[in-house]
């Protein structure tokens, strides 16, 4: 009889994926029924259409670009804590996080992320943000709806972008609450891009064939990285390193893309798995400045978006 192949332990697979690719896609979706129920509750709370947005006159009368994202006390997920067990207690997710960050891993934050379709973005706003590398729409959303993060495409970036002065010792966990096709603003992730460590946004990327990019770190290092388009069914789950480049194109479907985004860091044990991953990087783990695309008031001062070439 042929020998049965043994399935490698979760810890081995997760560590391999993070060292080699800077990401891990979970082999099974998390509970699709629970994801669908949560999605229905989120959609029942508001219409994800042009009703979300300030008028042009309202915005121009008092523009604010800073402090417009979800925060404690203004976070839609705080109302749905009881419904999140299908993610937070999923055995495969707990095992994956523990493999990297230790059994006492810590939640940094969690929120709902919405990819807004073109039909829901007012015409004046589409014209104003055209070409921006980061179209976080929070500044243009009515204050009562700023408990969710709304995007209309975001260029390739590292999640370290929001954590200047912090080591890249944390990971992002992402869950799709409905099927995400190529039209639904799926995540574009550049496998292996984490290997160059922390780099300043916007990043040095040049197309190199159908699936690959040339990525320079600004310090003389370069890598050829593969683009993974992360489409999947309800409950699709993936996590990645805080130096892994990823982004999305604008939502081309006729409906919004609703997902959950978590950030987790190591506990007091320090995260032995993540330490092993970071020991293999060829660049710094932290930056004193992570981006150079913003003006002093938080508005965009650079008009360029590389992910739209994908």
Alpha-carbon 192 to chain mean position: 16
**pLDDT at residue 2, as a whole number:** 57
Domain-by-domain residue ranges, the chain?
10-309
Query: pLDDT tens for residues 213-258?
Result: 999 999 999 999 999 999 999 999 999 999 999 999 988 888 999 9
Alpha helices, DSSP H only, in the chain?
10-20, 32-45, 56-61, 85-88, 91-101, 123-129, 272-279
SS3 sequence of 157-206: ECHHHHCCCCCCCCEEEEEECCCECCCCCCEEEEECHHHHCCCCECCEEE
Q: Determine how many CB atoms are found less than 10 A away from the CB of residue 225.
A: 26
**pLDDT at residue 294, as a whole number:** 77
**Pairing state between β 246-248 and 187-191:** antiparallel
Task: Read off the tokens for 219.
Answer: 């310090």
**pLDDT at residue 310, as a whole number:** 64
Q: Which residues of the chain have pLDDT under 70?
A: 1-5, 310
Q: What's the chain's Rg over C-alpha atoms? A: 19
- Residue 26 CA to residue 95 CA, distance in Å, equals 11
Measured over the CA atoms of residue 64, residue 67, residue 70 and residue 72, the dihedral's sign is negative
- Residue 225 CA to residue 241 CA, distance in Å, equals 15
Q: Report the alpha-carbon angle 255-190-289, nearest 5.
A: 95
Query: Residue 115: which of 145, 153, 144, 148 has the closest Cα?
Result: 153
Alpha-carbon 139 to chain mean position: 19
Question: The domain at 10-309 falls in which architecture?
Answer: Sandwich (2.60)
- Residue 150 CA to residue 251 CA, distance in Å, equals 11
**pLDDT at residue 230, as a whole number:** 98
């Amino acid at each position: 009889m042929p020998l049965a192949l043994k399935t490698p332990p979760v810890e081995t697979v997760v560590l391999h994926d993070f060292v080699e690719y800077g990401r891990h896609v979970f082999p099974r979706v998390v509970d699709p029924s629970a994801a669908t129920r949560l999605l229905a509750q989120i959609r029942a709370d508001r219409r994800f259409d042009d009703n979300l947005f300030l008028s042009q006159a309202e915005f121009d009368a008092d523009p604010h670009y800073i402090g417009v994202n979800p925060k404690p006390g203004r976070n839609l997920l705080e109302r749905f804590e009881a419904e999140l067990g299908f993610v937070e207690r999923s055995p495969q997710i707990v095992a994956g996080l523990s493999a990297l960050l230790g059994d006492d891993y810590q939640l940094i934050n969690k929120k709902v992320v919405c990819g807004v379709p073109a039909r829901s973005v007012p015409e004046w706003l589409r014209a104003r943000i055209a070409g921006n590398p980061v179209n976080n729409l929070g500044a243009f959303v009515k204050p009562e709806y700023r408990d969710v993060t709304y995007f209309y495409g975001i260029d390739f970036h590292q999640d370290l972008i929001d954590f200047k002065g912090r080591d890249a010792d944390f990971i992002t966990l992402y869950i799709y609450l409905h099927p995400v096709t190529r039209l639904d603003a799926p995540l574009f992730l550049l496998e292996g891009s984490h290997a160059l460590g922390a780099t300043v946004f916007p990043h040095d990327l040049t197309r190199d064939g159908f699936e690959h990019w040339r990525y320079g770190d600004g310090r003389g290092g370069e890598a050829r990285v593969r683009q993974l388009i992360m489409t999947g069914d309800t409950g699709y789950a993936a996590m990645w390193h805080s130096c892994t480049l990823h982004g999305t194109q604008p939502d081309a479907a006729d409906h919004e893309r609703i997902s959950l985004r978590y950030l987790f860091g190591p506990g007091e044990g320090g995260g032995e798995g993540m330490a092993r991953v970071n020991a293999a990087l060829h660049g710094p783990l932290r930056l004193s400045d992570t981006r150079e695309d913003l003006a002093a008031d938080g508005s965009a001062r650079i008009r360029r978006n590389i992910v739209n070439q994908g």
